[in-house]
Structure formats: structure tokens, C-alpha cells
Amino acid sequence: MATKSERRSLAYEAAVLYFVEQQTMEAIANKLGISRSTVSRLISSARDDGLVRISLHAPEEPNDSLARRIEEIYGIDVTVVLVSGQSTEIRRLERVAGVAGNLIGDVVEDKMVVGVAWGTTVSTVSERLMPKHLSGVTIVQLNGAANPTTTGLPYVGEILGNFTRSFGAKAFPFPVPAFFDYAKTRDHMWHERSIQVVRDLGRNADVAIFGVGSFTSPLPSHVYAGGYLSSDEVTALRRDNVVGDVCTVLIRADGTYEDIEINTRATGPTPAELARIPRRVCVVAGAGKAPALAAALRSGAVTDLVLDDECAAALLEYEKGGKVDGASASLR
């Protein structure tokens, strides 16, 4: 019986013959001295194990134009995903998450520390990661997830588990609330050595992966739908021109956040702290998130952006001073 290593080598050889040399399964079977059904299983195994990555590039030029225009405005790398105009918000998110999962697989390498925020978008991305056989990878939770009604552990645990399984990594959860009740409590907690270990890992990560929370998205952001903020807090934030959050740090339309009271109690990294991480992959789906995305981009939190075509078009319209889902632009 062949060893696991031998099976992987055979799967790789079959994949090269099929995808690179474009030989038929019958020809591959004859060359390798195995059955056609075995060739099919080997090729499927090669895909499942991350030995094969398939990239599709839609021919629509408008997407490339949208990406270039956003890159020119914000100085970042942009991937625009074409999604059918008839798609639901959930389907749109799934399409964007699939592309982001492939990109993240290309970015993550051996011995990297990967900071992961939680949320609806990142959860969907985590389910669509391209598996990759790596060693020494560490996944660290960037922001706390507990609130008065839940520990957040099952939800975040599933996200971290998807990342660790995809990259053969170890995980460092961050067992604190998303928002402390008092700023002094957070300050004291930051002096605990067990918490410092996780925070130091996050601050020194090689890659950060996060979405953008938004007040205006038809698909509710988890931080606003999951009991993390009271209705009074949301009302006060809206009055302060807050449009969303990055890693549960609230941001205004102009990208500022430093003097927002709730951020003194927030546990996620600020945009300035994120900016010290070399690669910062932001994943966004839906035109309703354009105002919050613009704020995140203005804050300097993003180096790599994956978004759908409708969100890209809405972002550019917002940048020009238009309106998106009833939210007027507040430009630099």
C-alpha cells in the first residue's frame, strides 16, 4: 500500500499531466499504469489538498477599470469580483469570499502570523479558504468577541478552526469582550501577561484579515446584529457621523476614530495599529458598505481590498460626493 507521501506525489503528477499538459484521463491512466477512475480520484485529491489552484479571470473590462480607479485613489491593491446583478446579498458575499479565500491562500506562507478579525464576512471567507500545506503558521484573534449575552467562543472558534485546518496552524484566541464596560477595566486587563501574549502576536502579525462593519448594509454586520451595542449607543454613534467599524473600532466617514468614546473600551486594533502590519486584507461585499469602506480606506487600515463590482461602483460614486443607500458622502 502506498504511503501518504507517495499518494500525494502521484496526485501531483496526475494533476500536472491533466491541467498543465492537458492530457486526457485515459492517456494519464495508461502512462501511470492505473485505472481511469483512480486518475479522477487523484485529480480531485490534488484540488482538495491545495496542490491545484484554479483562477478564473472574467473578461469584463469594466471590472479592471473599477479596480484601477480605486487603486489610483487609495494607493492599494484591489480585486473586483464580478457578480450577477440578480444575485442576493448572501450570494454576492459568497462570491467575494471565494475569491478572497484564494487570495489569502496565496499570501500566507510558512511561519507567518496571521491576525484574524471576526464578523459575517470573515466567517464566510473562512469557509472558502484554499487549503495549503504549511508549517509554523500561527492564527491570532485580533479582537474580543464576548458581550453581555454570549462568550462569542463558539462563533469565533469556528472561524479560527477553519483557518487552522486550512493552513495546519495553531490558534491563539483572544478571550475578552468586544467592548469593555469601562476603559479602566481594559487598561488593567492589558497588563495581564496572558493577554499581552495575544496582543503582541496580533501587533506583530505578518498578515491581517478583516471585513468592514456598516450601519447601511442590507446584510447586517455581526457587531450591530449580535447584541454588542445598545440602541442608544448606535444612535449616539450615528449623531457623531460614525459609519461603521474595522475590527470593532468605530470610525467616522472621514476615517477618524481617536476621540470616539467607545473606542477607549474597544479591544480590536486601531487603524494606526493595523497599519504596522505589512499586509492587511480587507474583504467587502454589497453596495451598502461603501460609506464604511471609504472610511476604512481613509484611515489607512487597508493594503489589499477584495470587493464586488457593485460595491466598487458605489465606492467611486461615494468618493465623488454622491449618495449610497441614503448615506451622503463626507469627503476629505
Q: Which amino acid is at 308?
A: D
Per DSSP, what are the bridge partners of residue 167? none
CA torsion angle 144 150 151 154 (round to 10): -100
CA–CA separation, 255 and 170 (whole Å)? 33
| Fold of the 61-328 domain | Rossmann fold (3.40.50)
Q: Across the chain, what does the average pLDDT equal?
A: 89
What pLDDT shows up at residue 86?
Answer: 81
Contact 229, 260 (CB under 8 A): no
Contacts of 189-195 with CB under 8 Å at 24 or more apart are: none
| CATH code that applies to domain 4-48 | 1.10.10
What residue spans define the domains of the chain? 4-48, 61-328
What pLDDT shows up at residue 234?
Answer: 85
CA–CA separation, 143 and 150 (whole Å)? 15
Cβ-proximal residues to 279 (8 Å cutoff; 6+ apart), any chain: 107, 206, 207, 208, 303, 304
Residue 48 burial (C-beta neighbours within 10 Å; 0-12, 13-18, 19+)? exposed
Q: Do 61-328 and 4-48 have the same topology in CATH?
A: no
What pLDDT shows up at residue 215?
Answer: 82
| Cell 470593532, residue located | 248
Tens-digit pLDDT string for the chain (332 aa): 678 888 888 988 988 888 877 788 888 999 999 998 898 889 888 888 888 877 666 555 567 899 999 999 999 999 999 998 788 999 999 999 999 999 999 999 999 999 999 999 999 999 999 888 899 999 999 999 999 888 888 899 999 999 999 999 999 999 999 999 999 999 999 999 999 999 999 999 999 999 999 987 777 677 877 788 888 888 899 899 999 999 999 999 999 999 999 999 999 999 999 999 999 999 999 999 999 999 999 999 999 999 999 999 999 999 887 555 434 333 22
Render 235-299 in DSSP notation, one character per residue.
HHHHHTTEEEEETTEEEETTS--TT-GGGGTB-SPPHHHHTTSSEEEEEE-SGGGHHHHHHHHHT
325 three-class SS: coil
C-alpha pair distances (Å), 281 with each of 28, 206, 297, 332 = 39, 11, 11, 23
Please give the model's pTM, rounded to 2 decimal places.
0.81
User: Phi/psi of residue 115, each to 5°?
Assistant: -85, 130
Q: Which amino acid is at 282?
A: C
Residue 230 burial (C-beta neighbours within 10 Å; 0-12, 13-18, 19+)? exposed
